[in-house]
Amino acid sequence: MPAVPSRPDPAQLAVIALDHTASGVVIGAPGTGKTATLVNRVVALIDGGMTPEELLVLTPTRTAATGLRDRLAVGVGVATSGPLARSVAAFAYQVVRAHAVHTGDEPPQLLTGPDEDRIIGDLLAGDAEDEQNGPSRWPEWLASDIRSTPGLRAEIRAFLAEMTTLGIEPGRLAERADATDRPVWASLASFAQEYRAVRARMRGAHRDAAGLVREAVGLLRDAPAGSPALGSVAGLRAILVDDAQELTLGGVELLEACRTRGIAVLAFGDPDVGSGSFRGAHPENFARLATTTHVLDRVHRGTAAQRDLTAQVTSRIGAAGLVAHRHPPVGLDPDESVRAFTLRSGAEEFDVIARLLRERHVHDGIRWEDCAVIAHDSRQVTALEAELSARDVPTAAVGPARALAETVIVRDLLRTVDLAAVASGERTDDDVLDALIGGGLDPVELRRLRAALRHAELRSGGERSARDLLASGMRHPIEFDMIDTPEARRAARVARTLADLGEQLQAGATAHELLWTVWEQRGLERQLRSLADGQGSMADGARRDLDAVVALFEAAKRHGEREDGTAPIDYLRALLHSEVAEDRLRTGTVTSGVQISTPAAALGLEFDTVIISGVQDGVWPNLRLRGSLLETARLAEEDTDRDTADRRRAVLHDELRLFARAVSRARSRLVVTAVDDDDSGPSVLFELLPPAMPAPRSAEHPLTLRGLVAAHRRTLTDARSAESARAGAAGQLALLAEAGVPGADPAQWYGLAEPTSTSPIRDLDAAPLRISPSRIHALEQCQLDWVIGDLGGDPGTAVAGLGTLLHAALERAEAGDAETLWAFVEEGWSQLEFDAAWIDEAERRRARDLVDRLAAYLRDTERDGTNLVGAEPHFEVTLPVPDAAHPAILSGYIDRVERTRDGRVVIVDLKTGRYEATGDQAAAENPQLAAYQLAFERGAIPEVAGADGGGAKLLVLKGTRNAPYAQPRQAPFDDETRAAFLSRVEEAVRVMRGTSFIAPFEEHCRDDHTRGLCRIHTIGPVSSA
């Protein structure tokens, strides 16, 4: 509630006691009690004999009207036939509807923002198609790709609304375009004509908000006194307007029309805090109502320093016709009630804001909902909401409404319906993935599902890729049913949902019925309700999701009632792709938390503590000219040659009004923050503030339960902590665990549970131990990396798959023909899966380069007289283990066995990686080549048994100075190298039989270039909290 005195001050009493016929304006600086005075005047008028039906309070927006209704109901204390407070648009609708009912016409229907956006988008798409066969009506600089952007559609919407507000017909706009040499206006005149024709053909009497207001103005001007065509409006005697500085020109003309009918109009406002210039609500409009001016001259909100800061800001704003309410700044010394901070990074800014809010809540007992964070635009509001929630600050964003599809859960529901309308045989791979992820599978579950499908396919002798198996399962859900895993069951449910939706679409189901099918089969209601009943960021997110789902179903219900001829699937697709918010009120109760908003959304609100965030140079003030592409602002200007500097000055004054509104919302504490780093700096507005301070030193106490648990756990587990401190931490953790605080109970701590088994990974008393030569090197580098891969933790990649294709091509190659090799690679290319088309193309180019290098090698060896003896021969070498019942078996496949011109056998191992070593030293120590040499020595390769050995080499498909490939070599075994390798194998057997595995963190795991699987234990977690 506003901080006004319990008894009105003299200026307020004078306004309250005005005669019921009084018209004019009541102006006052922020905090002078304008709204409180309005409420008290309503009470006085009703107490003086006026009935509630003869009185109406108007506000610029529906949100403001909703907030004012409760205050009026409490103040009036009598039953009313309807709400005393309405928005200007709602009042205009009442006038137009009453006239339609009286004349027997169809009642008006509001054309919502998404509806307008869809019509504009369709018309622009038609223009783009027409341009293929003829000239464009648009200027050359406004190409079709620019016109297809959401930003341009929004500018066109604003331009059309301004035309309606000003009463400019398309023909008149075309004339002004010729007179002022603005070709884009001529284009817009033609477009507006077509847009209005489309609206006229729609079923139902559709009007946008600006059209409703203009029509109501005409009816009020033309209807005779006491006309029944105006319904209850004919009985009005007085209208009071709150926040009248937000009125558009249409709103002012509506009030002027009421005044000409003898209705007293008293408007309350402050032109210095107007925030609606971007939608035509210029402060000058307010001045048109000033037949008589009453000034509230005493500010009741904020400290002296805060009031002086507000006065400093408003003194720099150009006069908008009314300035009698301004108080000159007196230059008071700063105190703790106004502080400014410049921080080193955005993250530090979020940290400081969260800390300051927690201090006010914990130390000073200020309720969360009595604190606010104000940012310049909705983008910043979204970031603040997420970042503060992650820092355990409960939030409740009250900024502008967002498009429904911006919420993930809504987007998933809409996308599922959209995919159901696509024939199953026409769905792309991306469509299938979208359906499964939108149906509740996360990327990890999706990977498990693909692996399970692929394994089942291989067991049955099939060769289909995981991609083809997913697509087949979506067409035939029984294929998912055959795999008994949670992921497969969920995928089957998604596939059946799509099938059910397809049948409903054929049967003509409504948008509401289609969405309900998806919602019911997803089974999210119980989960979200359970989360929403809790506390913390997850609970906040669940409540936002539920609000968004409710809003989605409300929109779908309105579509069914509207009967505008749009097919349900087309309407839902329009919602999916729309970036325009539905015209709706927030449903349910407002979440208890810190209010995060833009200055515009803070209209009529005040808080104990206000933090203004992100006051950066170039952001606040933002001097970019609004609507500059289409020059919308110049529609209302008689002098369309107004200097650009004057227009930019007007924008600066609008930005100052926003800042004045923001700083004037605080009662006790005001904080302004900005980042000062290499990329950005604080705004010039900081010159009006006390000297900026760096980030305050954080106190020892974290002021959050999560931080408190972390501090006590750190104390408890730190050997350097005093025994008394550790005992105290243990006691505090016990209390927190008893209260159910996450992370306090040691049973939830990682690393403290007993191992589930102490049996070795590989038991040589139970079965032989098979050793892959290619994995010995991984084991030697990092035992943890090896065991994760051995237990199935290596998901494989498309890059690894490329290596497999090249190995297969080498195995099948009979000569060095590059085209034949490339045909082998292309034959298996569809088995590879890439995250994006551009990655596919890049890897395809790389694969072609590797094939050319491989072909060059084969041609060179053939020219040198080297013959192929074997491709991919399998070998096994048995190695007894003294203390085990079974031996170790060194086994694998050799890429290529060659015989040189002098009869020596050389073993070749193909390497296709980007980071393979090309020096002989790396080859000399390579355990894979050594294993192949051992197999050759022991006769495990029958094709070359008894032949002379020529050692082994790597075939690395990387260019050198002399060739397009490298051949680092490993010399034939001698007694020393043979013994050294066998010792390495013995050590590998010992590790593989073990129960614990060492991770050389510094040398391997933390190195980004190793790309080891062990990084799963070193990378930071990624979560929403």
Q: State the CB neighbour count (10 A cutoff) for residue 51.
A: 13
Inside any domain, residue 320: no
Same domain, 53 and 183: no
Inside any domain, residue 515: yes
Residue 871's beta-bridge partner residues?
896
Q: Which of 577, 606, 630 is the last residue of a domain?
A: 577
The radius of gyration computed from the CA coordinates of the chain, to the nearest angstrom, equals 37
Element (H, E) at 844: helix 837-863
The CA distance from 610 to 594, in Å, is 10
Inside any domain, residue 771: no
Same domain, 96 and 119: no
Q: Which of 254, 276, 301 is the last residue of a domain?
A: 301
Same domain, 89 and 126: no
Number of compact structural domains in the chain? 6
Inside any domain, residue 1007: no
Same domain, 908 and 956: yes
Inside any domain, residue 769: no
Same domain, 572 and 631: no
Same domain, 251 and 103: yes
Amino acid of residue 737: A
372 burial (CB, 10 Å; 0-12 / 13-18 / 19+) is: buried
The CATH number of residue 79's host domain is 3.40.50.300
pLDDT score recorded for residue 850: 92
Q: Measure the N-to-C terminal CA separation of the chain; round to a whole number of Å.
A: 32
Q: Which two tokens stand for residue 33?
A: 């009690």
Alpha-carbon distances of 114 from 279, 575, 700, rounded to whole Å: 17, 7, 50
Element (H, E) at 118: helix 113-130
pLDDT score recorded for residue 878: 92
Instruction: Quote the pTM value.
Output: 0.68
Alpha helices in 578-669 (DSSP H): 644-663
The CA distance from 806 to 956, in Å, is 12
Q: Are 647 and 625 in contact (CB under 8 A)?
A: yes
Q: Which of 507, 542, 577 is the last residue of a domain?
A: 577
Q: Are 326 and 270 in contact (CB under 8 A)?
A: no
Mean pLDDT by 10 residues, the chain (1025 residues): 66 91 90 90 90 89 82 78 84 87 80 79 85 83 83 85 83 86 88 85 71 87 78 85 87 90 90 73 76 88 90 82 66 80 90 91 90 90 86 74 76 85 76 80 81 81 80 85 82 86 85 85 77 68 80 79 70 77 48 84 89 91 74 68 69 88 93 90 91 75 78 84 89 88 82 75 81 87 83 58 84 84 86 78 90 92 90 91 86 92 92 84 91 92 87 89 88 92 91 83 64 63 37
3-state secondary structure 222-237: HCCCCCHHHHHHHHCC
Helix-strand-coil split of the chain, %, nearest 5: 55, 10, 35
Range of the domain at 722: 705-748
pLDDT score recorded for residue 586: 43
Inside any domain, residue 318: no
Same domain, 45 and 87: yes
The CA distance from 1014 to 845, in Å, is 31
Same domain, 814 and 961: yes
The CATH number of residue 480's host domain is 1.10.486
Inside any domain, residue 933: yes
Same domain, 553 and 683: no
The CA distance from 444 to 461, in Å, is 26
The CATH number of residue 806's host domain is 3.90.320
Inside any domain, residue 519: yes
Same domain, 492 and 551: yes
pLDDT score recorded for residue 1012: 65
Longest alpha-carbon distance in the chain: 121
Same domain, 923 and 846: yes
Same domain, 78 and 116: no
Q: Which two tokens stand for residue 837?
A: 């088309």
